[in-house]
Amino acid sequence: MSKDTEIDMKEVELNELDPEKQPMTGDGQAPAGEKNGSVKLKVPDEEVTFTGLSKEELMKVAGTPGWVRTRWVLLILFWLGWIGMLAGAVAIIVQAPRCKPIPEMNWWNEGPLYQIPDVVAFANGMEGVETKLDAMNQLKVKGLVLGPLHSVQADQPNTLDFKAVHPDQGTEKELVAVLEKANKKGISVVLDLTPNYSGAASWFSPADVSDVMEKLKAAAEYWLDLGVAGIKVSDLEVATSSLEWSNLQAVVLGNHTEDTKKRALMGVVKGFSAPELSQLVNTSGVNLVLSDLLSSNTGGVERIKAMNTLNSDQRSLAWGLGAAQRDQLSTLAKTPSLIRLYQLLLFTMPGTPVFTYGDEIGLKAVEMVWDSEKEPAEGAVVDEAAEAERKEQVAVREWFKSLSDLRGKKRSLLHGHYYPLYSSATSLAFLRLWDQSERYITAVNWGEAPETLKLSLTPTEGVELPETATVISSSSTSADLAEESTVSLDNITLGPGEAVLLQFFYSG
């Protein structure tokens, strides 16, 4: 074939369509350029995958001097970093303020006690008490003090029967049902076994004390075996003067193990001064002493002095307004504002608050009221005075519940230290704090005129007052003392019967 012929054949081959661009239908030659229906196939380039070094290659590299030095440097850096972090953690722990150990707390220190001296007036008898335990649980009470329930004729020691429940109060079976349900709810039950509770003297006569104490010891064993968590007696100073007192102590306080609930021996005294009460607390061997100090001392200066004397005994001390006499709080706190004030005071003082049934609603009658939260029927004729009283009872109960809940949660209020801040004839203020927990200031004015409190703290190592604090509970109508507002501690003005609880935080 000639050379010209070879050139012509190459031109023909070049003019032919690339097979990859031939029309798929095969009918007709594709015009210049690519056309729909053409498929172009691409052969992927050959991929190169890196598989790393082989074992033999790694072994050769691992033994080289450079790699050996690198490994040692990395190992040393790792351990230096680890030791540095450990040293830093130790330094933080050593320099951080240490938490104080929590003092021993018993069930009667953890919340309020609720007295029911007359179960008939409270809930129409012992069976009714069982149905009201849910309501007691809502109030966060830790103990019920029932009775006296035993059978006795006034001033007749020969009729005394500690083991028999008076028929007017209920039956033993009903009492046991109350004990079982209360224990399930975490509420301990104390029986008031004051012998001659409706007579002239609690222990009849001095000549009867020894014999009565022997009967009381046997009754305590009986009721404790049935699930009672404590025994209460009145006129404690008379009881402790008996030679048989130690026998009662052994029954109530003995045979206690770590797996069983501790039992309480509780006594009531009247007319004792603060120093005399402190001595009785430390010599009588009782777990809890309830006095009438708050009722008999009506001045703020006297009340502050009493708290100054007794705050170190707070885990053995109970406070109440009228509770020592088994009276309701409203007998001494005559107005709704004063009822709120004394509720706040009792819940924040150093010691166990004790209330009598109805105190949570400011009850001013003998029989308990249970329908305060029931709204009047729509369209019913409403007595405006009665409706206002009902609404006030509901509001007071909510105030009580909030304070009870707060006291049960905050360490400063449960077992914190106490510091006086201010006192006058009709007002007082004090500080409660525990370690690094939130701190609380109670300020109250039960007088009939406004008073400005200028709070100050005696220089104490590690304790300082801030310039301001936050209001968390207030019975004041002033906008300056509304809840969540900030107040200056060197100038707090309280109106007549007003109370306020302030909070500030620990700053190390």
Q: What is the pLDDT of residue 376?
A: 87
Kindly report, residue by residue over 213-244, the tens digit of the pLDDT.
Answer: 999 999 999 999 999 999 999 999 999 999 99
Q: How many Cβ atoms are within 10 Å of 32's Cβ, its own excluded? A: 6
Reported for 56-63, long-range contacts at CB under 8 A and 24+ positions apart, including other chains, are: none
Decide if pLDDT at 23 tops 60. no
From CA 414, how far away is CA 408, in angstroms rounded? 7
- State mean pLDDT over 409-423: 96
Q: How many Cβ atoms are within 10 Å of 439's Cβ, its own excluded? A: 23
Q: Do 212 and 161 contact (CB within 8 A), yes or no?
A: no
Decide if pLDDT at 360 tops 70. yes
Residue 472 one-letter amino acid: I
Least confident piece of the model among 32-46, 402-416, 426-440 = 32-46
Q: What is the pLDDT of residue 500?
A: 98
Confidence tier at 100 by pLDDT (50, 70, 90): confident
DSSP letters, 153-203, are ETTEEEEEEEEEE-TTT--HHHHHHHHHHHHHTT-EEEEE--TTTTSSSTT
Residue 242: DSSP 8-state: S
CATH 3.40.50.200 fits 419-504, yes or no: no
Q: How many Cβ atoms are within 10 Å of 460's Cβ, its own excluded? A: 10
Residue in this structure with the two tokens 């703290």, named with its chain if needed? 457
Q: Is 128 helix (H, G, I), strand (E, B) or coil?
A: helix
Q: What is the pLDDT of residue 3?
A: 47
Nearest in space to 440 (alpha carbons), one of 344, 316, 360: 344
Q: Do 400 and 343 contact (CB within 8 A), yes or no?
A: yes
Q: How many Cβ atoms are within 10 Å of 379's Cβ, its own excluded? A: 6
Decide if pLDDT at 430 tops 60. yes
Please state the length of the chain: 508
**CA–CA distance from 348 to each of 239, 318, 353, 476 (Å)?**
30, 12, 8, 18
Strands (E) located in 296-407: 317-319, 352-356
Strands 317-319 vs 288-290: parallel, antiparallel or unpaired:
parallel
Q: What is the pLDDT of residue 87?
A: 87
- State mean pLDDT over 95-115: 85
Percentage of the chain exceeding pLDDT 90: 75
Give the CATH number of domain 114-410: 3.20.20.80
Least confident piece of the model among 32-41, 130-139, 208-217, 435-444 = 32-41
Confidence tier at 50 by pLDDT (50, 70, 90): low
Angle 206-116-184 (CA atoms, 0-180°, nearest 5)? 115
Q: What is the pLDDT of residue 258?
A: 62
Decide if pLDDT at 8 tops 70. no
Residue 381: DSSP 8-state: -
- 60, with CB counted inside 10 A (0-12, 13-18, 19+), is exposed
The pTM of the whole model exceeds 0.85: no
Kindly report, residue by residue over 296-321, the tens digit of the pLDDT.
Answer: 999 999 999 999 999 999 999 999 99
Decide if pLDDT at 508 tops 80. no
Confidence tier at 164 by pLDDT (50, 70, 90): very high
Residue 24: DSSP 8-state: S
Decide if pLDDT at 142 tops 70. yes
Confidence tier at 104 by pLDDT (50, 70, 90): confident
Nearest in space to 153 (alpha carbons), one of 143, 166, 163: 166
Tell me whether the omega of the peptide bond preceding residue 117 falls within 30 degrees of 0, making it cis: no
From CA 165, how far away is CA 172, in angstroms rounded? 6
Kindly report, residue by residue over 464-483, the tens digit of the pLDDT.
Answer: 999 999 999 999 999 999 99
Confidence tier at 507 by pLDDT (50, 70, 90): confident
- State mean pLDDT over 377-393: 90
For residue 3, what are the contacts with CB-CB under 8 A and spacing of at least 6? none
The encoded tokens of residue 157 equal: 């020691």
Confidence tier at 144 by pLDDT (50, 70, 90): very high
Least confident piece of the model among 32-41, 349-358, 411-420 = 32-41
Q: What is the pLDDT of residue 19?
A: 47
422: phi then psi, degrees, rounded to nearest 5? -170, 145
Q: What is the pLDDT of residue 41?
A: 54
Taking 3-state DSSP, the helix, strand and coil percentages for the chain, each rounded to the nearest 5, stand at 40, 20, 40
412 or 60: which leads in pLDDT: 412
